[in-house]
Amino acid sequence: MMKKIFCSIVASTLLLGCSTNVEDYQNTSPKFELDTFFDGEVVAWGMIQDYSDKVTRRFCVEMTGTWKDAANGKSGVLDEYFYYDDGETDRRVWKLEKNNQGIYTGTAGDVDGDASGEAIGFAFNWKYDLNLNLGDTEYTFAMDDWMYQLDEYRLMNKTAMKKFGITVADITIFFDKEKPLRSCNK
């Protein structure tokens, strides 16, 4: 029994010690800039997997980003329309700010507080608390978003959705902005 407990503690420590941070991508390219990639129209396809890796939902997102220069950085809006495979639709409008140190912050109607993130190299890490209505109850989940720019037109995203520090779902999204732009089949 003690051997099992010891092995669990060692495994947990190793996993926590190996966590990634955005500085790990310092020398990678292409250089990701949120306000450049999400400027104009972008379409994305994704899926949600539960704790057992079973795909529970698929979706498509059509989004438009607009940016303007502000006195000490940039401000923008990312307007997202979600189309789920079960017929549900949703909309999220992000209000985003980029300061002169390259740190992004954002708010949206279903986000609790401010989101924040930083891009280094080809990677971007975005963290926020998302409020979701499931049935008659609203839950708040911690979202740990990782975006990786593949080339000037494509981006991969992997998000860990957590409750009480435990990953309850993973979200994978593929973004494409190459012209001619595809659209979601409504």
pLDDT at 70: 63
175 close to 154: Cβ distance less than 8 angstroms: yes
pLDDT above 80 for 54: yes
**High-pLDDT (> 70) share of the chain, %:** 88
How far is 111 from 118, CA to CA, in rounded Å? 18
β-strand pairing of 73-84 with 40-50: unpaired
CATH 2.40.128.20 fits 29-176, yes or no: yes
Domain segments of the chain as ranges: 29-176
DSSP symbol at 36? H
CA atoms within 13 A on the CB side of 74: 18
66 close to 39: Cβ distance less than 8 angstroms: yes
167 close to 161: Cβ distance less than 8 angstroms: yes
Range 155-180 average pLDDT:
96
144 close to 162: Cβ distance less than 8 angstroms: yes
49 close to 169: Cβ distance less than 8 angstroms: yes
Between 4 and 34, the more confident residue is 34
129 close to 111: Cβ distance less than 8 angstroms: yes
Q: Which pLDDT tens digit goes with each residue over 61-118?
A: 999 999 998 666 789 999 999 999 999 999 999 999 998 888 999 999 999 999 999 9
φ, ψ at 2 (rounded to 5°):
-60, -35
- CA angle, 38 then 177 then 46, to 5°: 85
Give the distance from CA 116 to its chain's centroid: 11
pLDDT at 19: 56
Structure tokens at 79: 């307007």
Considering the entire predicted model, what is its pTM? 0.84
Residues composing the chain: 186
